[in-house]
Chain A
Amino acid sequence: MSSWLDYTINGLIVGNVYALVAVGLALIFGVSRLINFAQGSIYLVGAYIGWVAVVQLHTPLPLTIIVVAVVAALVGLIIERFGLRPLQNSVRIAPLLATIGISFVLDQLVMLTFSPNPRALPSQLPDVRFQVGGGTIGPLDLLIAGVGISSALLLFVFLRYTKLGWAVRAASQDRDAAMQMGVDVNRVNQTVFGIAAALGGVSGLLVGMYYNQIDTAMSLQATLKGVVAEVVGGAGNVPGAVVGSMLLGLVESYGVAVFGTSYRNLFAFLLLVVVLVLRPNGLFASARQAPPEPLTGTFIAPSRPLRIPRWALAVAVAAFAILPLLPVSFYVLQTLINAWLLGMLALSLTLVAGTIGQVSLGHAALLAIGAYTSALLSLTLNVPVGLAIIAGGLMSAALGTILISPSFRLRGHYVSIATLAIGEIVSLVILNWESVTRGPIGISGIPPLSLFGYDLISPASVYWFAFAVMVVLALLQARLLGSHLGRSFRAIRDDDIAARAYGLSLNRYKSLAFIFGGFAAGLSGGIAAHLYSYINHETFNTQQSILALTVVILGGLGNIVGAIVGAVALVGIPEMFRIAAEYRILIYGIVLLLLVRFRPQGLLGTI
């Protein structure tokens, strides 16, 4: 059974790496009740700083580690000071969204500086393996274990025996009371971000050396793994984060041993969902403890929505409807078609995140379900495309709601984590379920859009089709929200306990919102599949989920017209200024940051 020992060693080593990320997340969550989605970006920065140090400056290993830790800590301090401190008194979701924006910006800056191509990061250590029992262990394994253990010890000593460490612990247990003891909470925040960033950066360096390769996709993966480990251990619980990381490393390692490498992440996210559903406070939280997430109610920025008269909306719809009859370029129509598809997704998300307050970070999964359903039905069963798209919408509604239903009892940030995980799970199932989804090869040759036997080939016809579907969905949604249902949704968003006390069944209303939202997103995905004619497991990724979230925040959460305006703006403006594709994500990140800081209620106001 030598290989099992190897897998155990591998799991523990990887667990050490995760722990360096997760401990930082736990410290930050403890003090500011914030899940720092930029943690993976700091890890990425650490890996690339390490690459510069090793490959270009030829620094010795100990110096490399110190350089990485210091630079990463500085990045962490900058993020805290300029990205998060100004948001201290803002709506609760603001810092979370800001860290997402910051992570977009950092990742893109790294990508623009170093190109998206992977780079080799040599470890400078001799390539020998020692026999230990039945397994083998190398110098790099020992280095990682050594860094992990010594960081844990240092952190323990810091928290237990230094004044600042006490301040960190006190602030994480009761911020106000700590202030009343004279603790400067800003300084505590700074400390925690500095430590978290230093650990995260070193983790990135070690991972780069372990796989001898770094690339910009590492960032999101690291954030996700860190979040999984942290939540498994109990959000804000530092020793819990270490144990959660080891557990995650082992589960992944054994999962890979049994099923293969492409299953690694699937196990990570399944572990997360299981823990969230069964023990949302983590494995080690005592049962009597209330979850550290404050109640909802301040989740949405209060505002007075802009009133747009009906006739103005009618004029706008008419104007966009006759647009293809005017002498406009193919390029403009193409751009607007993309905007309408994004608009449908935004309608779905503004209902789910804005109206009922479940901030979903995995909405692209609904697109993927709709797209694959419609593509496979039309391709393998020859179902007419129009019907297939509707089937895609229904499948998204049904499957999306079923998948998300275990997380209905979660609140606030946990909903975001759960939806993010479910989004990843959908994409990983698509990757691994080769017999149906054709796995990593993807589906090609998807028949073009057609309706009642007529192919929609011309850009104008596609434009009209997408626009009509979106307008119908928007009208339906407006109708829905005008009824008592809309009021119930908003009541659940504003205070779920009060809503329940008045007899509203949270599960039923959340299901209804996800059914309607899933249908709209599924249609969008279905149309997109026939438009692109090729899709794979990465066509609808987390970046798209975040883009959709930026769109609905830009328009104003819960605001139907806002969702469409936001989609047109975010698709249209980069096109208008002919901004190269690689800068777009950077711009989306900056837009998200600016919105959160200066206009959390969006352009048209939240409803």
Chain B
Amino acid sequence: MTTGAAEPLLALTDVNTFYGQAQVHFDLSISVGRGHIVCLLGGNASGKSTTMKIILGLVKPRSGEVTFDGASLIGLSTPQIVRRGIASVPEARRLFADMSVRENILMGAFVRNDRDAVAQDLDKMLTLFPKLGQRLSQRAGSLSGGEQQMVAMARALMGRPRLIVMDEPTMGLSPLYVDRVLELIRTINQDGVSIFMVEQNASLALEIAHEAYVLQTGKIVLSGPARTLKDDPRVRDAYLGGSEAA
């Protein structure tokens, strides 16, 4: 937990998760400070994506606490959690392939009822993601991976969330788009949205993050400010999951 600073926006405390008999998380504790970008690093099967699912209420932990803005999320359904102000950019984008780009972006505002403001936000998205302007009436499934990522990010922003959780936002993108996505994450963050992202690509993620956690087979093995972790040789070891780090 961040000490001294104000209460974190999102906090997972001593979370233990199981899939059947197999334990996925061991006393996992993570916190995301207000206005921060926090990234969770880890190799395959380290429990990264499950952490996302815990936050979104798609998987229920067996024990532990998850709070958002001081209130517990445990026992809430995914739609209820979304209404609290958490949006997601899921792994592999998960767009509604047969709906148009416009419809996809507007789906992000599903929980909102202020039509006029939604329309304004849609315009804002088109300035933030100018390429999408020409694609609005196209089937979302027909876009390239990078364009889909833009749609997924616009969709998440449309809910006016206080926190966006992103599952591997750069996965499968061309280098050009990777840079673009990272830049956008930074821009979004500068507008006051906190970001919690799961990444495999440690060096890229540490470029933009404020804090980072390294997850290895369900346990946090390292954590701290991104700047210090970037130079820590153990990050590479832990991230690769080979030798016994720490």
Contacts and interface: CB of A to CB of B under 8 A. Distances in A.
Interface residues of A, number: 16
Contact of A174 (B88, B94, B103, B111): B94
B56 A169 contact: no
Nearest to B83: A182
A169 B96 contact: yes
Interface string B141-173: 000000000000001000100000000000000
Interface residues of B, number: 24
A182 B96 contact: no
B110 A166 contact: yes
A184 B94 CA distance: 17
B90 A177 contact: yes
A19 interface: no
A85 to B, nearest CB: 13
A170 B96 contact: yes
Nearest to B82: A182
Contacts of B88: 180
B125 to A, nearest CB: 15
A177 B77 contact: no
A258 interface: no
B69 interface: no
A588 B228 CA distance: 68
A182 B90 contact: no
A169 B79 contact: no
A346 interface: no
Contact of B96 (A163, A174, A179, A184): A174
Contact of B97 (A166, A173, A176, A178): A173
A179 B98 CA distance: 17
A176 B58 contact: yes
Interface centre among B56, B58, B82, B110 (most CB of A within 10 A): B110
B76 to A, nearest CB: 12
Contacts of B108: 181
Contacts of B98: 169, 173
Given A182-B83, A184-B79, A173 B110 contact: no
A180 B97 contact: no
Contacts of A163: 110
A561 to B, nearest CB: 28
B78 A179 contact: yes
Contacts of A177: 90, 94-96
B77 A184 contact: yes
Given A170-B96, A173-B96, A180 B111 contact: no
B99 interface: yes
Contacts of B110: 163, 166-167, 170, 181-183
A180 B94 CA distance: 10
Interface in A142-189: 163, 166-167, 169-170, 173-174, 176-184
Nearest to B165: A180
A180 B83 contact: no
Contacts of A183: 79, 110
Contacts of B58: 176, 179-180
Given A166-B110, A167-B110, A180 B90 contact: yes
22 contacts: A163-B110, A166-B99, A166-B107, A169-B103, A170-B96, A170-B99, A170-B110, A174-B95, A176-B58, A177-B90, A177-B94, A179-B58, A180-B56, A180-B58, A180-B78, A180-B88, A181-B155, A181-B159, A182-B82, A182-B110, A183-B110, A184-B77
Given A178-B107, A180-B56, 6 more contacts: A169-B98, A176-B58, A176-B94, A181-B82, A182-B78, A184-B79
